[in-house]
C-alpha cells in the first residue's frame, strides 16, 4: 500500500506533508530510495502516487517552468500551471501512442478530423486520443501569500485540480481511504 498525505496546521500557517517510498508496477510493489516529493518552486511541493508515476516528473518540470516565468506562487498560479502541464503531457503521450505510428502529429490529425468527420477510423482515433489518461494522482501543497493550501489532480478528472481547504487535509495513493479515515478520526477525537 502506498500513500501521500498533506495537511494544514496552525490555522493554515503550516503545511505538513509526507509520502512513503513505495513504488509499484501494477502487481509488484517495493520500497526504493526514490523520493516521491518534488519541489514546485520555493513554496510548493508535489507528492506523487499511481501505477505509472513516470509522467509526473515531466508534468512537475513543466509546471515549475511556467511558475518561474510568471514569478507567481499563489494557489491559483500553482493550480493553473499544474493543470496546463498535465494537459500538455497527456496530449504529448497520446500523440506518441496513437498518432506518430501513423506518421501524424496533432495538427495533422485535427486537419484530418475536419476533412473527414464521419470516418470511422477518424472517430476511433479521436476517441483514443481524447480518452488517453495516466494512472496518476498528484497531491500539491504549499503557501499562497502565507496561507497553507493543498489541491490534487487525478487521472479520472483529467488533471483538473481539486482544492482541499475543508477539512484541511487530503491523501492520494492506494492507502488514501485509510489515511483519510484516520485523519477524520483524529479530528473527531480532538473536537470532543
The span from the CA of 176 to the CA of 184, in Å, is 12
What CATH code would you report for 4-191?
3.60.20.10
The span from the CA of 164 to the CA of 172, in Å, is 12
CB 1 within 8 A of CB 173: yes
Q: What percent of the chain is helix, strand and coil (3-state, nearest 5)?
A: 45, 25, 25
Beta strands 44-50; 169-172: pairing state: unpaired
- The whole-number average pLDDT for the span 185-190 is 77
The answer on pLDDT for 52 being more than 90 is: no
Of the listed ranges 23-37, 77-91, 121-135, the least confidently predicted one is 23-37
Q: Which of 6-10, 29-33, 188-192 has the largest mean confidence?
A: 6-10
The fraction of the chain above a pLDDT of 90, given in percent, is: 60
User: 183 forms bridges with which residues in the sheet?
Assistant: none
Task: Write the burial class of residue 104 (CB in 10 Å: 0-12 exposed, 13-18 middle, 19+ buried).
Answer: middle
The answer on pLDDT for 61 being more than 60 is: yes
**pLDDT band per the 50, 70, 90 thresholds, residue 25:** low
The span from the CA of 136 to the CA of 122, in Å, is 27
In the chain, where the domains are located: 4-191
The pLDDT tens digits of the residues spanning 136-165 come to 999 999 999 889 999 999 988 888 999 998
Average pLDDT, the chain: 88
- Grid cell 470511422 in the structure block, residue: 120
The span from the CA of 82 to the CA of 161, in Å, is 8
The answer on pLDDT for 26 being more than 80 is: no
Amino acid at each position: 500500500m502506498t500513500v501521500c498525505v498533506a495537511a494544514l496546521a496552525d490555522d493554515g500557517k503550516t503545511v505538513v506533508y509526507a509520502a512513503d517510498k513505495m513504488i509499484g508496477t501494477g502487481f509488484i510493489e517495493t520500497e526504493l530510495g526514490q523520493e516521491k516529493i518534488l519541489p514546485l518552486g520555493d513554496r510548493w511541493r508535489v507528492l506523487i502516487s499511481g501505477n505509472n508515476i513516470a509522467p509526473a516528473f515531466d508534468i512537475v518540470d513543466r509546471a515549475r517552468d511556467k511558475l518561474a516565468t510568471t514569478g507567481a506562487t499563489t494557489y491559483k498560479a500553482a493550480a493553473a500551471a499544474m493543470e496546463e502541464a498535465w494537459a500538455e503531457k497527456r496530449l504529448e503521450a497520446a500523440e506518441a501512442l496513437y498518432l506518430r505510428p501513423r506518421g501524424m502529429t496533432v495538427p495533422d490529425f485535427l486537419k484530418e478530423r475536419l476533412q473527414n468527420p464521419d470516418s470511422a477510423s477518424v472517430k476511433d482515433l479521436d476517441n483514443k486520443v481524447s480518452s488517453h489518461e495516466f494512472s496518476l494522482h498528484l497531491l500539491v501543497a504549499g503557501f499562497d501569500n502565507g496561507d497553507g493550501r493543498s489541491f490534487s489532480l487525478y487521472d479520472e478528472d483529467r488533471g483538473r485540480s481539486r482544492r482541499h481547504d475543508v477539512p484541511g487535509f487530503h491523501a492520494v495513493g492506494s492507502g488514501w481511504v485509510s489515511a483519510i479515515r484516520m485523519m477524520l478520526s483524529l479530528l473527531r477525537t480532538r473536537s470532543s
